[in-house]
Amino acid sequence: MESMKSKPREATGSDLSEQIKAATKDSHVRAENTQLMLNYQKGQITQTQYKLLLCSLYEIYRALEAELDRNADHPAVQPIYFPQELARLETLELDLEHFFGPHWRKRITVPAATHKYTQRLREIGKNSPNLLVAHAYTRYLGDLSGGQVLGKITQKSLGLSGNKGVFFFSFPGVTSANRFKQLYRSRMNSIELTEQQRREVLDEATRAFEFNIEVFDDLQKMLSITEEASSGKGNDVTSKTQSKTFSSSPALQFALGVGITLATVGMGVYAF
């Protein structure tokens, strides 16, 4: 299906896709070396963490895809608008229902960091649709690149069989990930932007990575504190940190899952 939209062309150093790679290179390296990223690659994920991962991803993609749908005819969005091939919302709903049951929507909880990210997506969708290009590119091509590997890691770690619980990682509308990524880059590179608009898109791509890195750092600290608390140490530090960051222990538990969430998303992004 994707082959009907456009014929890929080779990227050059002046292409937007290449410029995004160059602009976010340092952020790539920093995020790849977070402990959370390494943990996920080692298969150190529990079902609780994965379920919370799905909650966070659902909120992020609910915001992103709502804004892409709303701006589908915008000159900067139309070329990279592939809902049949890339949309993740329905797959996340299937996975959430698998783990939480038919009333899963009542159990969705989102931490401050994810809420901040969704707010940004809705803000630019309303005021600066050009910037959606940066988020769509880094998220979708990242998930597409790392999806197969991440899906297998998750299945093995949690003892899942078939696609149940891991629909998020499959892209049935994409017959060849490599060919589709070439097509997507070609379509994105065809978007007409002024120099100022191009700089803003590059800045937004970097900003998206920085959102993730900030949460990586915060959650690594939270993980360390939680480990101390579980062994009977650092109770005073835990109490102070919880009062500053979260209002309840369930929120703290959610934060631990979000760490894996961001590591999961990041692992795909760094492969594009």
Quick one: pLDDT at residue 230?
55
Q: CA separation (Å) from 148 to 57, 161, 163, 166, 171?
A: 17, 14, 11, 10, 9
| Rg value, the chain, Cα | 19
Residue 239 lies in a domain: no
Return the residue matching tokens 């150190």. Answer: 44
Residues belonging to the binding site are: 21, 28, 137, 185
Task: Show the beta-strand stretches assigned E in 81-152.
Answer: none
How high is the mean pLDDT in each 10-residue block of the chain (272 residues)? Answer: 45 82 86 70 79 84 97 98 98 97 90 87 97 93 85 92 93 95 97 96 91 66 56 50 41 44 45 52
Q: Which residues are annotated binding-site positions for heme b? A: 21, 28, 137, 185
- Give the angle subtended at the CA of 37 by the CAs of 31 and 39, to the nearest 5°: 155
pLDDT of residue 6: 42
Cα 180 to Cα 184: distance, rounded to the nearest angstrom: 6
Q: What is the pLDDT of residues 258-268, one digit of tens each?
A: 444 444 454 44
Q: Residue 171 is part of a domain; what is its CATH number?
A: 1.20.910.10
Tell me whether residue 237 is in a domain.
Answer: no
Q: What's the domain count of the chain?
A: 1
Which range marks the domain in which residue 59 is found?
16-230
pLDDT tens, residue by residue, 230-252: 566 545 544 444 434 333 444 44
pLDDT at 178: 94
Please check whether residue 266 lies inside any domain of the structure.
Answer: no
Residue 261 domain-assigned (yes or no): no
Asked whether residue 7 is domain-assigned, the answer is no
Residue 265 falls within a domain, yes or no?
no
**Residue 53: what pLDDT?**
76
Does residue 9 lie in a domain region? no
80, 157, 170, 176 from 181: Cα distances, Å: 11, 28, 15, 9
Exposure string of 178-187, with b = 16+ CB inside 10 Å and e = fewer, is eebbbbbbbb
Model pLDDT, residue 80? 98
Asked whether residue 267 is assigned to any structural domain, the reply reads: no
